[in-house]
Structure 1
Amino acid sequence: MKASWDIFCSVVDNYGDIGVTWRLARQLVAEHQCAVRLWVDDLRAFEKICPEIDIQQQRQEQDGVEVRHWSSQWQAEAAADVVIAAFACQLPHAYMEAMADRERAPLWLNLDYLSAEDWVSGCHGLPSVKFRGVQKYFFFPGFQPGTGGLLREAGLLERRRHFQADRQARQDFLQGLGVTPAANSRLMSLFAYENAGLGSWLEALAADAQPTHLLVPEGRILGDVQRWLGVESLAVGSLQVRQSLTVQVLPFVRQEDYDRLLWCCAFNAVRGEDSFVRAQWAGQPMLWHIYRQDEDIHLDKLEAFLALYTQALSPGAKAAVLALWQAWNTEAAMAEPWKNLLQHWPEVTAHAEQWCLEQGSQADLAAALVQFYLNWI
């Protein structure tokens, strides 16, 4: 019999938590024949990335995954063979009791946040707390051997390369979103948290000799874009031109379409965790807006990734990437770091593809989770 899996997702940062768990749940069903229940406490956020979700339903099926609304009125449920608490969310106490009451205790995992910090590989797979004899384990996604890897569906990179090589497919996809960039423009995407440094970057793009068509999916950065443009409102479908810069607001799209959007662009600014990983699979230059944490501890996480990501770059290109990412994540002026990056564009572009291939040669997160369970039983 195939193993049953329960994945619990408490939506904290709008879409990152549900984005990761929804991709994982589907992959476990499609590629590993697992029976998966995905418990989500915010179906409205889920609906944004999966429009088929009925926010009124307590129980429904999507892509082979049983989606359950995780509400405060918890009803008694039997615990699964594998229980994943995504990003350290607290399971319902009654469910934890159900785990302890099983004849055979389940595998209980805390699927943690993605990090490139050195300590991750040392903590990955270690036991954590116990509840009535049920042992919880740490499970860390990561970029190096000894971690849980990254979410990557089977054949993803092949589909991406095929799409990027098919000019007509890219054009049809963009036209479906109402996007018709000029032939000589640099297509870029911007998905980020609020950032005071945005204005200086947009000024640089507007003054550049090469035109830029900037695609901005609706989200938290729109207020900063609107202020820089000096317009009263900025809604989905808005198209604004300032010198060499065209800004276009896109609707929030399902995950598969967001992947294709990243594949179409020559540069992607992303945020959080899910879009951060998907930008890496796009094989294009990127910029990560990391989620801010108290006492700036997120900057340690940023530095750890940059040390790994820039290792193979020449000194000049490495310095350019570091300066841009550090400026963006400290809300500093972006014009000079951006101009400097453009001086190393060919190398940075080639490096993005090479990094993607290197990461793609490692075991993916879903496969690593399944193997951990098989080893555990």
Structure 2
Amino acid sequence: MTTTSSNHWDIFCAVVDNYGDIGVTWRLAKQLANEFSIKVNLWVDDLGSFAHILPTLDPASHSQTIQGVTIKQWNQPLDLPYSPGAVLIEAFACELPDEVKTRLAPVKSTNPVKPPVWLNLEYLSAEDWVEGCHGLPSFQPNGVDKFFYMPGFTEKTGGLICESDLFAQRDAWQADSANRLSLFKKLGLSGIEQHHKVISIFSYETEALSALCQYWAKGSEPVHALIPKGRSFNSLQSLLPCDIDQLVPGQQLSQGNLTIHVLPMTDQQGYDRLLWSCDFNIVRGEDSFLRAQWAARPFIWHIYQQEDDYHLVKLEAFMRLYCDNLAFESAEGWRQLNLAFNQQRTDAVVEQWQNINSVGVDLLAHAKQWPIDALKTVDLASRLVQFVQK
């Protein structure tokens, strides 16, 4: 009979784009610990970046437990002991330490220790090939199979990260309009009234953002753009009265009918509530991309640019799914808006923004129904636990 040395799970995450990779793995680790009572060790190579979305984290501490998850500093070489558990997850094909891979090799004895279920958690994609690759094993030189776990939007994939009570929390928050004004006040944002249009922006650099801001400034209604210090502001230097590094959270920059608010960094729950409180969200990466969908608000996905414009293939795959039950005029307007933003076509992005205003009610209704259709009652963590059990 073979046994595992422990029932705990280990997740390794290399922080690549500041918040995206660690954002996903932190949400997964929390859900596994809190909803499935699994002991989770989350190994992270950059606690400094992690602390931006988890303010209670001490970047100087090599091991600490927060919200039921033990967070460990992953140094090279590994300087904390690793003991194989029931499951080992390498997030987004990060390269596991040699010390870990060595410990995975099956021990040949009269009572061998069973190696953990070894998974490579891949990036979320709506492309068709994901179904065929999900769950496939890959034999490794150390004699252990590694399985590809592919998050996705269909029942033949690994599913989507979503806490069991998230939609109920969101609906309760959005049912009381006072919540959003209370949040804005808490964030140090002033001058926002209930009828004003509020847009959150978390994008990469793009001239399309500058074009939209200039359009909003000349528009007939007040628009508030909520932007954290970071890459989005790199596209807006011409609109700023100071250098980007001189911006401070809570600062307001007004031009015409546009007010840009410099957002403070917030934890994940705070970011979710921010998305719930805005009329429109512009997001990037994977974590904020999915959370914008769960917010039940219209959004633009600024996807990470890849060679030969392969990112546009990924974008088109998602848009086909998202627009499946959306009326043609609304679907085409939203699709063209996303393409124009990602292709930095300044005139087109302004034109398409004007076009979607005429179908705003339709887009909002679709945004509210989409999370229900996309989740298909089973979230990623639940499917992951079932996969491991099988």
Per-residue CA deviations over 1:145-203 (Å, capped at 9, x if unaligned) read 11111110011000000001122333222210122312331011000111122121112
Name the counterpart of 1:205: 216
2:204 is aligned, of 173, 193, 198, to 193
The equivalent of 1:145 in structure 2 is 155
How far apart in 1 are the matches of 2:265 and 2:238? 21
Report what 2:183 is aligned to: 173
Q: How far 1:230 sits from its partner (Å)?
A: 4.7
Any gaps of 5 or more consecutive residues in structure 1? none
Structure 2 counterpart of 1:63: 67
State the shift of 1:357 in Å: 1.7
Partner residue, 2:361: 346
Q: Deviations over 1:66-85 (max 9, x none)?
A: 10000013134211210000
**184, 204, 208: which one aligns with 2:195:** 184
Instruction: Tell me, yes or no, if structure 1 residue 77 matches structure 2 residue 82.
Output: yes
Match of 1:100 among 105, 128, 146: 105
* Alignment partner of 2:378 out of 331, 344, 363: 363
Q: Distance in 2 between matches of 1:289 and 1:264?
A: 20
Match of 1:43 among 40, 47, 55: 47
> Are 2:151 and 2:159, in contact at CA under 8 Å, matched by a contact in 1?
yes
Question: 2:309 is matched with which residue?
Answer: 296
The CA distance in 2 between the partners of 1:162 and 1:285, in whole Å, is 19
User: Any conservation in 2 of the 1:9–1:85 contact (CA below 8 Å)?
Assistant: yes
Change in Cα spacing, 1:242 to 1:31, as seen in structure 2 (3 Å) is same
Question: CA, structure 1 residues 183+170, in 2 after alignment: closer, same or farther (shift >3 Å)?
Answer: closer
How many residue pairs align between the two structures? 375
Quote the Cα distance in structure 2 between the aligned partners of 1:73 and 1:130.
21
Contact 1:47 1:53 in 2 (8 A): yes
Question: Which amino acid counterpart does residue 81 of structure 1 have in structure 2?
Answer: A
Q: Is the 8 A contact 2:247 2:262 kept in 1?
A: yes
Q: Does the alignment pair 1:52 with 2:67?
A: no
- What secondary structure, in the 3-state scheme, does the structure 1 residue paired with 2:231 have? coil
Cα distance in structure 1, aligned partners of 2:173 and 2:62: 37
Question: CA offsets per residue over residues 14-47 of structure 1, 9 Å max, x none?
Answer: 1001000001001000001111000000000110
Check the 8 A contact 1:109/1:139 in 2, yes or no.
yes
CA distance in 1: counterparts of 2:183 and 2:331, whole angstroms = 33
User: After superposition, what is the alpha-carbon deviation per residue over 1:221-253, rounded to whole angstroms, capped at 9, x for unaligned?
Assistant: 112223233544433222011111111010111
Cα distance in 2 for residues equivalent to 1:223 and 1:293? 19
TM-score (normalizing by structure 2): 0.93
Q: 1:101 offset after TM fit, Å? A: 4.3
Tell whether the 8 Å contact from 2:229 to 2:263 is kept in structure 1 after alignment. yes
Identity %: 44
CA deviation vs aligned residue, 1:114-141 (integer Å, no higher than 9, x gap): 0000010111011124232210001011
- Counterpart contact for 2:296–2:370, Cα < 8 Å: yes
Deviation at 1:88, TM superposition (A): 0.5
Are 2:36 and 1:21 equivalent residues in the alignment?
no
Q: Specify the code of the residue in structure 2 equivalent to 1:59.
A: S
2:287 to 274, 279, 295: 274
Q: Which residue of 1 aligns with 2:110?
A: none
* Letter of the structure 2 residue corresponding to residue 266 of structure 1: D
Q: Give the distance between the partners of 1:38 and 1:70, measured in 2 at CA.
A: 9
Cα distance in 2 for residues equivalent to 1:153 and 1:72 = 33
Question: Distance between the aligned counterparts of 1:224 and 1:182, measured in 2?
Answer: 27
Counterpart of 1:123 (choices 110, 120, 133) is: 133
Identify which range, 340-349 or 175-184, moves more after superposition: 175-184
Does the 8 A contact of 1:226 with 1:234 survive in 2? no
Structure 1 runs of 4+ with >4 Å offset: none
- Cα distance in 1 for partners of 2:291, 2:259 equals 24
CA root-mean-square deviation: 1.4
Q: 1:136 aligns with which of 130, 146, 152?
A: 146
How many Å separate the matches in 1 of 2:64 and 2:367? 39
What is the CA–CA distance in structure 2 between the aligned matches of 1:231 and 1:304, rounded to whole Å?
Answer: 40
Which runs of 5 or more residues in structure 2 are unaligned?
108-112
Structure 2 residue 224 is matched with structure 1 residue 224: no
Q: Is the deviation greater in 119-128 or in 216-225? A: 216-225
From 337, 341, 344, the counterpart of 1:331: 344
Offset at 1:216?
Answer: 0.6
Distance 1:175 1:235 in 2: 16
Residue identity opposite 2:148 in structure 1: F
CA shift digits 1:260-291 (9 cap, x unpaired): 00000010000000000000000000000101
SS in structure 1 of the partner of residue 272 of structure 2:
helix
Identify the range of structure 1 (232-241 vs 255-264) with the bigger mean alpha-carbon deviation: 232-241
